[in-house]
């Protein structure tokens, strides 16, 4: 008898009932019930026999199963203790899948990958991320300087749009800049809410982030760059001058603020959403020079 894919409504309900489980809202658990969507995600992620797939939040194993069809090995991190036994059951046929009961935000992924991955293998993150913690997970993976080729992740459509947004759009903000500083980002497909159980309130999207060999712009002080970007979007209706004066008033004098905008060649009456990442880099590097004098 051919077993139905995990990602079907009948099999998902049967697995949950067999293990006496309900869906845990606090962990953002919405399970995919459309195998075709999962096939597309794995294909768009470029997973093949040389791929080490890293999955976050495998749930009951729907995406994990499809990754296992293509990848050399799948390492999955699941925070919910209740699902560990479920995954042992649903993923039993796949010897090249390893599940860890661990919070990805607390895991030392750099050391983990050094131990598990060979030079000829490519690491690709593929995940259906819990909505409530999407951004912290992605920022950890980006900032930890990991040997990851790409991340193909499902998230709330609104968040994906913000991460891929360009200047002069309402979606563009500090999150767009943080993500695009490290990666080339692109929304590759949308997934309607009807593809999940329980059904979320909003549609989802698949965002693909391909790691840049080096950050998009050269920065003298990365922490200052991100602080300046964050401050520039503090109150979106205000000018960058007003926003930055509020944040940096203890570090820059009135004359230094004039110097900052004159030397960077950026009009202080502009709003944060009008500045490109390259312009934020210029502003940040001039600011670093003035503060260091």
Distance CA 210, CA 274 (A): 24
Task: Confirm if 247 and 241 have CB atoms less than 8 A apart.
Answer: no
Q: Is 259 annotated as a binding residue?
A: no
Q: Is 14 annotated as a binding residue?
A: no
Helices (H), 71-122: 81-90, 109-116
Q: Is 128 annotated as a binding residue?
A: yes
Q: Which among 114, 82, 111 is positioned nearest to 99, based on CA atoms?
A: 82
Q: Is 207 annotated as a binding residue?
A: no
Distance CA 282, CA 293 (A): 17
Q: How far is CA 4 from CA 34, 50, 58, in A?
A: 12, 27, 18
Partners of residue 211 on adjacent β-strands: 183
- Conformation bin of residue 46: beta by default, left when phi > 0, alpha when psi is -120 to 50: left
Q: Annotated binding site for S-adenosyl-L-methionine: which residue ranges?
A: 30, 32, 57, 78, 103, 128
Q: Which residues are annotated as a binding site?
A: 30, 32, 57, 78, 103, 128
């Amino acid at each position: 008898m051919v077993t139905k894919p995990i990602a079907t409504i009948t099999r998902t309900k049967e697995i949950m009932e067999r293990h006496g489980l309900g869906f845990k809202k606090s962990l953002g658990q919405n399970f995919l019930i459309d195998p075709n969507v999962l096939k597309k995600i794995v294909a768009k992620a470029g997973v093949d026999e040389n791929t080490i797939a890293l999955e976050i939040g495998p749930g009951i194993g729907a995406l994990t199963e499809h990754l296992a069809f293509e990848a050399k090995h799948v390492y999955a991190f699941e925070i919910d203790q209740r699902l560990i036994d479920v995954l042992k059951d649903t993923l039993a046929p796949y010897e090249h899948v390893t599940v860890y009961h661990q919070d990805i935000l607390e895991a030392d992924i750099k050391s983990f990958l050094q131990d598990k991955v060979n030079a000829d293998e490519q690491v690709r993150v593929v995940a259906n991320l819990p909505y409530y913690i999407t951004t912290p997970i992605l920022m950890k993976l980006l900032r930890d300087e990991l040997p990851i080729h790409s991340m193909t992740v499902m998230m709330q459509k609104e968040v994906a749009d913000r991460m891929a947004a360009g200047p002069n759009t309402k979606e563009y903000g500090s999150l767009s800049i943080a993500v695009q500083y490290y990666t080339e980002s692109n929304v590759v497909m949308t997934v309607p809410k009807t593809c999940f159980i329980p059904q979320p309130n909003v549609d989802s999207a698949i965002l693909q982030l391909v790691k840049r060999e080096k950050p998009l712009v050269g920065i003298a002080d990365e922490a200052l760059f991100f602080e300046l970007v964050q401050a520039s979007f503090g109150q979106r209706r205000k000018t960058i001058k007003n926003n930055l004066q509020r944040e940096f008033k203890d570090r820059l004098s009135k004359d230094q603020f004039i110097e900052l905008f004159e030397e960077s060649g950026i009009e202080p009456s502009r709003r944060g959403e009008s500045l490109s990442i390259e312009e934020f880099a210029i502003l940040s590097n001039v600011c670093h020079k003035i503060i260091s004098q």
